[in-house]
Amino acid sequence: MSPSRPNGLSRQPRNVVSRGIPEATVARLPVYLRALVSLAERGATTVSSEELAAAAGVTSAKLRKDLSHLGSYGTRGVGYEVEYLVYQISRELGLSQDWRVAIVGIGNLGHALANYGGFASRGFRVVALLDAGEVVGEKVAGLTVASVDDLEHVVKEQEVSIAVIATPGAAAQPLCDRLVAAGITSILNFAPVVLQVPEGVKVRKVDLSTELQILAFHEQRKSAAVLGIDADVVAQAFVEAAQ
Amino acid sequence: MSPSRPNGLSRQPRNVVSRGIPEATVARLPVYLRALVSLAERGATTVSSEELAAAAGVTSAKLRKDLSHLGSYGTRGVGYEVEYLVYQISRELGLSQDWRVAIVGIGNLGHALANYGGFASRGFRVVALLDAGEVVGEKVAGLTVASVDDLEHVVKEQEVSIAVIATPGAAAQPLCDRLVAAGITSILNFAPVVLQVPEGVKVRKVDLSTELQILAFHEQRKSAAVLGIDADVVAQAFVEAAQ
DNA sequence: AGGCACGTGTGAACGTGTGCACAAAGTCGC
DNA sequence: GCGACTTTGTGCACACGTTCACACGTGCCT
């Protein structure tokens, strides 16, 4: 039964990517990028960590540490050259190439996503729309909606590398399985379910009601705090009253 | 010059709320809740940490630790009673009360959000839609779209406690300022900008292209790894070629 | 040319989050 | 009722992330 194995083996850091860049930093790079582009449009040529941090909503120390993971792209006593930094972050995020995106599920949200201009702006091109309903055959945002029956074919034909799932919850998992089988390894999921995928497939989830629930939690705490009430005590009383 | 002050003072933990519950745990509670409701619909009355964890996409140890922050609601040797746990998590998240939500910006995304059924399901009620364009006066999802000119009035009249911003980037900050001035302290932001808000106001951001960029980063790394190439080396060569 | 002001890059300390492994606590069968 | 089995709740160790504070590089001014 071997009660205490040494088990110091097979430990691979999963949150740190390759030889570099912590996950938390990666998640912030897009924010920096947007802030930089915005600054560039306003004509700025250099920017200090303090300024950029303010624009991105983080502290300057965090920003500097994040950027230091990409290399030493700043100049001491001056700051960072905006254009050069835009280039470096874009490159690191892989935005030099064009990513071909398919949207699965053309309901309200799918429509909105298809028409959303923000995709094209930075390296993302929506190349396929898929649905199972009456929308099939219609033109949406310049593309004809294809049937999910042809999913495998469309994915291969259009060389899709990222899929966006915007279906009702029940349809998401089966479609996800088919996408994975078709070779997709990056999925952005808007459906309110936790997708089960094999190792090597990356899923990111965007969930509206989850976000609202987190806000509600904090809002509730605030209300209780204003009244000078310990929320836990209230909760306890509530439980007892309910019993 | 006092080279090393002890400086252990005025340190208040900001990520831990009140007397309890770590932020990371709060972010997962909605996921557990959904998994539990789904299980309940399938007729389950009790569930083990192992099962629930699988359904929620986390490890069982993490789940147990998360739930332990709410109290001891499980039974050793058996598991958790599904219905009771649903109740406890709902209560903790503040879903016992109805949250009144306003959506600002009724474009493609605003439409989709207004029609999204997932809101009503758990304590969230959309009570106001606001826009500045031609949509004003139209009926969307059973509500008449009001003008943003009346924002302050509508917020007060409808007792809005959470605002959702779904406008273009440029409009977001001014509207945010007005919402905050009108007393809103919880905002869900879909606009592609970092909102600046005073202390005490909680903003959560959902950003489609940010998510795609994070996926692209990992996808890029994967491609390079498959080819047996160190991505950093490629990047370096790329930089040199560009100079 | 030399000092000075400025701002980056980073080592070290701290706090938060995760994973392991097991004792405590409960149930079920006999 | 007692023992074997199951599963929770948690102490501990470690990994990750953030913050602090300052040395050092860079440009500017005299």
For residues A171 and A175, what is the distance between their CA atoms, to the nearest angstrom? 6
For residues A71 and A139, what is the distance between their CA atoms, to the nearest angstrom? 45
Tokens of B42: 């399938």
What is the predicted pLDDT for the residue at B222? Answer: 84
Distance B74 CA to C18 C1' (A): 21
Q: Is the pLDDT of residue B235 over 80?
A: no
Q: Return the higher-pLDDT residue of B160 and B241.
A: B160
- DSSP letter for A98, please: P
What is the predicted pLDDT for the residue at A1? Answer: 32
Q: Cβ of residue A23 near strand D, that is under 7 Å?
A: yes
What is the predicted pLDDT for the residue at A6? Answer: 34
Q: Return the higher-pLDDT residue of A136 and A4.
A: A136
CA distances from B35 to B15, B38, B66 (A): 25, 5, 15
**pLDDT tens-digit series, residues B131-190:** 999 999 999 999 999 999 999 999 999 999 999 999 999 999 999 999 999 999 999 999
Distance A45 CA to C8 C1' (A): 17
How many CB pairs lie under 8 A apart between chains A and B? 217
Chain A neighbors of B211, CB-CB under 8 A: 188, 204, 206
What is the predicted pLDDT for the residue at A231? Answer: 46
Domains and CATH numbers, chain B: 23-93 (1.10.10.10), 99-206 (3.40.50.720), 212-242 (no CATH)
- Best mutation target among A212, A222, A223 (most B Cβ atoms within 10 Å) is A212
Chain A neighbors of B215, CB-CB under 8 A: 162, 186-188, 202, 204
In which element (H, E) is residue A75 found?
strand A74-75
DSSP letters for A155-167 = HHHTT--EEEE-S
- Best mutation target among B180, B208, B232 (most A Cβ atoms within 10 Å) is B208
Mean pLDDT score of chain B: 87
Q: What are the strands of the beta sheet with B146-147, ordered from one edge?
A: B146-147, B124-131, B99-104, B162-165, B186-189, B202-205
What is the predicted pLDDT for the residue at A152? Answer: 98
How far does the CA of residue B150 sit from the closest CA of chain A (Å)? 24
The mean pLDDT of A223-229, rounded to a whole number, is 61
What is the predicted pLDDT for the residue at B170? Answer: 95
- Nearest nucleotide to A25 (CA to C1') is D17
Query: How many other CB atoms are there within 10 angstroms of residue B200's CB atom?
Result: 8
Chain B neighbors of A194, CB-CB under 8 A: 31, 34-35, 55-57
**pLDDT tens-digit series, residues B22-70:** 999 999 999 999 999 999 999 999 999 999 999 999 999 999 999 999 9
The mean pLDDT of A22-28, rounded to a whole number, is 98
Q: Is the pLDDT of residue A66 over 80?
A: yes
Give percent of chain B with pLDDT exceeding 90.
79
Chain A neighbors of B220, CB-CB under 8 A: 93-94, 97
